[in-house]
Chains A and B, each alone.
Chain A
Amino acid sequence: MISGSWFEKQKNIIDYSLQSLLRRRSKNILILIIFILLVFGVSSILFITGSLTREMMITSNELPDITVQRILGGRQVNVPALFIPEIKKIPGVEAVETRVWGYFYLASLQANFTIYGMDLDLLEDGEYRKVVNWKNVPDQAERNPDYRMIVGQGVYELLENIQMEKRYLFYQPSWEKPIPFDIIGTFKADTELQSNDLMVLQTEGARRVLELPPDEFSDLVVYVPNPEEIENIALKIRRYFPELRTVTRAQIQNTYSSVFGWKSAFVLSSMLVAIFAFLILIWDKASGLSPEEKREIGILKAIGWDTDVVLSVKFWEALILSGISSLAGILLAYAYIYWLRAPGLREIFIGWSTIYPSFRLIPNVDPKFLLLIVTISVVPYLAVTIFPAWKAAITDPDVIIRNI
């Protein structure tokens, strides 16, 4: 008999594998669906975690080198201005700046807003002007310069619902009267992850709303030009002023990373049932071939197929099935996270108030993730498919055929 080329042989084997998969259609479709769901679930979590961590890391690069907070009785309190000159004296410190910020709970909307005080003229004139969609305030004369604010898109939409998108009245029951703030702009969509629940108020106005006394600040930020010195200076601040706590940029980055890592681990743990079901399924497959599959291997061996050809068929079957499943699972996860914006999962990963950012995640597909997904899906499936086939293929075809 004249043999064909090696290439033709491989083509024949792949063709036979495809036919074989189609012959056991219902069983393979079931495995395919379970496989896709599993890969989709794991990929979605890895994608969202990766993108958020990356986003946060990029954002956190703009954070101050050291944030200084004052802790009394185990809780954070305002920092008096008298600490500023003392910290400035520490060698290596370039600048110490003050921050005014806090939270404002709006009972009627059951929403927490983050309030941040700054000189809005700096935003209007500086390099950050482009991050704001500026609104036309009708009459400059009407504006009280201390009672202006720029809000995030999420806040703006909530205020629109209560017809306060032009001017919002801050009010607490203990106050004599509400404080009106003109909304002079909204933050653009590309800053949504950071700005969605944010209200940036003119510093003096923020002090009023947050009831912050003069000469006190929410916290201080310290700038250190030499990155090698940051940890040392933070240590010195804590030593000289035991009531002060320092948070370095590296610590914040670690926190972001571990928060998303923890959330990812939490969601992955809740998927354990699905993973367990899949493992049972592949274990079932691993524990032995069906009589029909054993018989087929016996027939192939009996008509002269070599063991390695039988194993090649099983290899391609497993690779095609697991490859298609993994690819489909990954693509579906990509579409779910980056096009559909991860409904259901987004709230778990990025919600900390009732205003959920509706931002579009920036794709960040780490090849390590893909390798991990392939490792936990394709490789075990290949192993559990090939091992029982190998066991059947090394048995005398005579024995397999007679036993059935």
Chain B
Amino acid sequence: MSNVIVETIDVTKIYNRGKPNEVTAVKDASLQIDEGSLVVLKGPSGSGKTTLLSMIGCQTKPTRGEVIILGRRISKLPERFMNLHKRNHIGFIFQHFQLIAGMSVLDNIVLPLIPEGISPKERSNRADQLLKQFNLGHRRRFKVSSLSGGEQQRVAIARALINNAGILLADEPTAHLDSALTSDLLNYIKNLKLAGHTILITSHDPIICQHPAVDRVFEMKDGRMIS
């Protein structure tokens, strides 16, 4: 029997509520994601898929509705507990990677461990495993700004995995990659799925949506879930 690990129930997100520039980014969106599955959320630009991903990734709270991760209604949690939940269970890969430019590859990867009080040695050990896994060992001390787009993408994935999160969320991960790098990325994602991670990707790239490792595709349009 499948085990639902992520669920949204009639989730709505309204930005700038009550102001002239009020926008309803997501309206009554519901989905369920099984543990260990690879799911794609597709839709054109402005369809609300990044906003829905942000709500699942505890980056923002829904205006209405429920987000349930691992059985906890995280949308109702105070910030401190939501962050704790995020640090413990969710790894997020941002569309523009969101790495800190002046810092080294190693320092970027270990950032989520700093507030946990993990010692520098332990942080370094954990990062080294990921650097090896993503073939970045030789770039350990390089500033991220000096890396190629593909390398930055791998640093962002490594950072998302440093806390051993079971759920991995990726926002348009191939948006800035060429076809060769996209293929590499899909291999990494496939391997992560095989390692037991639950993965949710937003994308309108057909290469991702039609990839054989993908278990399910949800489609959004104008903030609504259409399939």
A residues within 8 Å of B by Cβ? 1-9, 12-13, 15-16, 19, 23-24, 292, 295-296, 298-300, 302-307, 309, 396-399, 401
Cβ of B167 to closest chain A Cβ, rounded Å: 13
Choice from A1, A12, A24 contacting B163 with Cβ under 8 Å:
A1
B residues within 8 Å of A by Cβ? 51, 54, 58-61, 79-80, 83-84, 86-88, 90, 92, 94, 96, 98-103, 107, 111-112, 114-120, 122, 159, 163-164
- A4 near B117 with CB under 8 A, answer yes
Cβ of B141 to closest chain A Cβ, rounded Å: 13
- A302 near B79 with CB under 8 A, answer no
Cβ of A19 to closest chain B Cβ, rounded Å: 7
| Alpha-carbon distance A15/B117, docked complex (angstroms) | 12
Cβ of B114 to closest chain A Cβ, rounded Å: 5
In the complex, which residue of chain A has the Cβ closest to the Cβ of B98? A299
Please report the number of residue pairs spanning A and B whose Cβ atoms sit closer than 8 angstroms: 90
**Given A1-B87, A19-B107, A401-B94, does the pair A303, B116 have CB atoms closer than 8 Å?**
no
Choice from A15, A23, A306 contacting B115 with Cβ under 8 Å:
A306
In the complex, which residue of chain A has the Cβ closest to the Cβ of B87? A304
| Alpha-carbon distance A289/B92, docked complex (angstroms) | 25
Q: What residues of B have a CB within 8 angstroms of the CB of A5 in the complex?
A: 117
Cβ of A224 to closest chain B Cβ, rounded Å: 70
- A303 near B159 with CB under 8 A, answer yes
- B83 near A306 with CB under 8 A, answer yes
- A307 near B79 with CB under 8 A, answer yes
Cβ of A24 to closest chain B Cβ, rounded Å: 8
Choice from B58, B80, B100, B115 contacting A9 with Cβ under 8 Å:
B115
- Nearest first, the 7 closest Cβ-Cβ pairs linking A and B are A4-B117, A9-B117, A304-B87, A23-B102, A398-B60, A8-B117, A398-B59
| Alpha-carbon distance A292/B102, docked complex (angstroms) | 10
- A6 near B83 with CB under 8 A, answer no
- B92 near A302 with CB under 8 A, answer yes
- A299 near B116 with CB under 8 A, answer no
- A3 near B94 with CB under 8 A, answer no
Cβ of A183 to closest chain B Cβ, rounded Å: 69
Given A1-B164, A4-B122, A309-B114, 11 further pairs, Cβ under 8 A: A4-B119, A12-B115, A13-B115, A16-B114, A19-B107, A23-B102, A292-B101, A302-B98, A399-B60, A401-B96, A401-B98
Choice from A7, A8, A306 contacting B80 with Cβ under 8 Å:
A306
Q: What residues of B have a CB within 8 angstroms of the CB of A12 in the complex?
A: 114-115, 117-118, 120
Q: What residues of A have a CB within 8 angstroms of the CB of B79 in the complex?
A: 306-307
Cβ of A100 to closest chain B Cβ, rounded Å: 75
Q: What residues of B have a CB within 8 angstroms of the CB of A397 in the complex?
A: 59-60
Q: What residues of A have a CB within 8 angstroms of the CB of B115 in the complex?
A: 9, 12-13, 304-306, 309
Choice from B59, B98, B116 contacting A3 with Cβ under 8 Å:
B116
Q: What residues of B have a CB within 8 angstroms of the CB of A15 in the complex?
A: 120
In the complex, which residue of chain A has the Cβ closest to the Cβ of B143? A23
Q: What residues of B have a CB within 8 angstroms of the CB of A3 in the complex?
A: 116-118
7 A-B Cβ contacts within 8 A?
Answer: A1-B116, A5-B117, A12-B114, A12-B115, A302-B92, A306-B83, A399-B60
- B83 near A304 with CB under 8 A, answer yes
- A9 near B116 with CB under 8 A, answer yes
Cβ of B82 to closest chain A Cβ, rounded Å: 9
**Given A1-B88, A8-B117, A19-B107, does the pair A304, B98 have CB atoms closer than 8 Å?**
no
Cβ of A15 to closest chain B Cβ, rounded Å: 8
Q: What residues of B have a CB within 8 angstroms of the CB of A8 in the complex?
A: 117-119
Q: What residues of A have a CB within 8 angstroms of the CB of B102 in the complex?
A: 23-24
| Alpha-carbon distance A398/B62, docked complex (angstroms) | 12
| Alpha-carbon distance A398/B61, docked complex (angstroms) | 10
